[in-house]
Structure 1
Amino acid sequence: MKKLFFVLAILFIAESAVAQGFFNKERIANLENFDKRFLTWGYFLGFNNYDFKIDYIEHFADDNTEIAVNRSAGFNVGLIGDMRLNRYMNLRLEPGLYFTQRDLIFPGFEEQRDFLREVKSTYIHVPLLLKVSTKRLNNFKPFIVGGISTSLNLSSNQDNPEDNEQGRFRTTKSTNYYEVGFGIDFYLYYFKFTPSIRGVFALNDELVRDDDPNSPWTGNIDKMASRGIFINFTFQ
C-alpha cells in the first residue's frame, strides 16, 4: 500500500508540473473570489480501501502463522468545513461515514468457520486537516494535505462477551490516525470540484484479544492497526 501511495504521489507531482506548463496561458477565471472567503462548506463522495498492518509477537515471527488480509473497496460520504488561514493554507474538518469490509484468513484451520473472519466496519471518521496549496494556475490549484483524525466504529463488537471460539473477531470502538495526501482544485463555472487521494494510518492497536491468551486467532498478534487509501471527490 505504501508503494502504491508513493507511485501516486510521483504521478501527482508530474501532473502538477504538466498542468503548470499547459495552463499557463491566461483564461477566464471561474469563481475568482471563492478563495477569499473565510469559511466555505461542501460535501464529498468517494471510495476507500482499508487494510490491516499486523505485527506479530517476536517468538512467533518465524512460525507459519501469518494472517492474510483480503481487502475490498468501500464507500465514503461526508461534509466539509473549510477555514481560510491565509492565501496558501486552509484548516479543514471533514466528518464522514465510511463503509468497508476486510476478510482475515487464518492459517492452520481446515473449516471455513474457523479460518475465515469477516471484519465489517462502519466508521464515523472525523479528520482535522491542514491544506497547503500552490498559487492558483488559472482554474487549477494543486495542494497537499495532512493531519490527524479519529473514528468511531459503529460495527464494533468490542463489548461482545463472545470471542473467536464462538466465531466473533473483535476490534476496538475508536481509533486514532494520521493522514497525508494530495489533490487538485478545479474551479468550474458554478462550484469548485476537487479530486483527492489520502493515505490513512492508525496509531493505536485495534485488536480485542480472546479470553484465552494462547488463542490460535489472537495469541500471536502484538499489534493490529488499520491503514487505508481514500479517494474523495469534493463539491464546494
Structure 2
Amino acid sequence: MKHLFIKILSAAVILIGNQLQAQTFNNLFRTRDRQENREGMDLEKFSYGFYLAGNNFDYKMVLNPAYGMDGNKNLVESKSTYSFGAGLIGKMRLNYYLDLRIEPGLHFVQRDLTFNTFDKVNAAFPGGFILPDGSVTPNIDPPTDVDQKRMIKSTYVDVPILLEVHGDRWYNSRPYAAVGVNYLMNLQSNETSEGDNSVNTFRTTTHNFGWSAEIGIQFYFSRFKLTPAIRGTFFTNNELVQDKATTPPYWTPAISTMQTRAFMFVLKFE
C-alpha cells in the first residue's frame, strides 16, 4: 500500500510539474494568446507625451598650439558635470516601421574650464601684452583661481527632429533607433555681452546646430508607454566667441574650436 501511494504521489508531482512547465512556456514565449497593452497606440497618426533626461555635457576642443598647448600637453581643461532636462514629445506615424518625432526640451548645464596658459603667455610676452594702440597691459603673475577657472552655465532650448525606425512589437515591448538634427538656443550664452574674460565673462554662441542619435526600448503598460533611451547630441558649429583684441591671450585665443557633445539618459512617457 505504501509503495502504491508513493507511485501515485510521484505521478501526481510529475503531472503537475509538466502542467506548470507548459504554462510557464506559454507565458514567456507564446505571445499569440497573451493580452497586449495599448494595442491601438501604434496605429494613431499623432500622439504626444513628455520626457525627463539626465545629462552629461562636455566640450570637445581643438587648442591653438601657440597658447593652448605646451608640446603635447593641453593647457586648457574641460570638466563636465551631470545635469537634468525635460521636454515634450510630438509624434507623427509615417508607416508601420517609421515615425517622425519632434521633442522640444530645456536642458540646464554647467561646465568648468581651467586655463593653465598663463606661464606660456607670460613667457611669450615678458614685458606685458602690447595693445593695438601701443600701450602695454601688465602680465597676470601669479594667476589666481578667479583668473584660471571659468564656470560656464548654459540653458539650452533644444529642438530635435528625429526619424525613428523600430522593429516588430514583441508582446509589450519594441526596440527602436532614431537619428535627426537639432537646433539649440543657449539662453545664457553672453554672446552680445560687452564684457569678456578680462572681466570674467566667458562668451559662447546663442544659436547652435547639431545632430543626434538614439537607441531605446518602448514598454507598453495598460495606461501609457514608457521608453528608456540613450541619446548622444553633437554640435556642428564652433560655439566660441573670441575675446576682444585688447584682452590678453590667456583665454579664448588658446582655443581654436569648441563644440558641445552631450550624452543623455532619457525616460519618455506617452
Q: Find out whether 1:160 has 2:167 as its counterpart.
A: no
Which residue in 1 is equivalent to 2:258? 224
Question: Structure 2: which amino acid aligns with 1:88?
Answer: Y
Which residue in 2 is equivalent to 1:50? 57
Residues 24 and 137 in structure 1, CA contact (< 8 A), matched pair in contact too? no
2:90 to 78, 81, 86: 81
List aligned pairs for 1:6-21, cutoff 5 A: none
Distance 1:60 1:25 in 2: 65
Superposed CA offset, 1:153-192 (max 9, x none): 1111001111101101101101101111100000001000
Q: How many angstroms does 1:54 deviate by? A: 0.3
Q: Find out whether 1:72 has 2:81 as its counterpart.
A: yes
Distance 2:183 2:35 in 1: 40
Distance 2:251 2:258 in 1: 12
Distance of aligned partners of 1:61 and 1:108 in 2 relative to their CA distance in 1, 3 Å threshold: closer
Q: Find out whether 1:234 has 2:265 as its counterpart.
A: no
Question: Structure 2: which amino acid aligns with 1:82?
Answer: K
Which residue in 2 is equivalent to 1:6? none
Residues 117 and 167 in structure 1, CA contact (< 8 A), matched pair in contact too? yes
Q: Find out whether 1:120 has 2:153 as its counterpart.
A: yes
Distance 1:157 1:59 in 2: 26
Distance of aligned partners of 1:97 and 1:121 in 2 relative to their CA distance in 1, 3 Å threshold: same
Q: How many angstroms does 1:214 deviate by? A: 5.6
Instruction: List structure 1 runs of 4+ shifted beyond 4 angstroms.
Output: 58-62
Superposed CA offset, 1:6-28 (max 9, x none): xxxxxxxxxxxxxxxx9643132
Residue identity over aligned pairs, in percent, reads 38
Which residue in 2 is equivalent to 1:187? 220
Specify which structure has the higher proportion of strand: 1
Q: Which runs of 5 or more structure 1 residues have no equivalent in the other structure?
A: 1-21
Q: How many angstroms does 1:46 deviate by? A: 1.4
Question: Structure 1: which amino acid aligns with 2:48?
Answer: W
Which residue in 2 is equivalent to 1:18? none
Residues 50 and 88 in structure 2, CA contact (< 8 A), matched pair in contact too? yes
Distance 1:225 1:232 in 2: 22
Which residue in 1 is equivalent to 2:20? none
Q: Which runs of 5 or more structure 2 residues have no equivalent in the other structure?
A: 1-26, 119-142
Which residue in 1 is equivalent to 2:108? 99
In the superposition, the TM-score normalised over structure 1's length comes to: 0.87
Q: How many angstroms does 1:222 deviate by? A: 1.3
1:130 to 163, 167, 175: 163
Which residue in 2 is equivalent to 1:207? 240
- Quick check: which has more Rg, 1 or 2? 2
Superposed CA offset, 1:111-169 (max 9, x none): 11111101101111000000110111110001011100011111110011111011011
Secondary structure of 2:253's counterpart equals: coil
Residues 196 and 233 in structure 1, CA contact (< 8 A), matched pair in contact too? yes
Secondary structure of 1:35's counterpart equals: helix
Distance 1:143 1:155 in 2: 34
Q: How many residues align?
A: 215
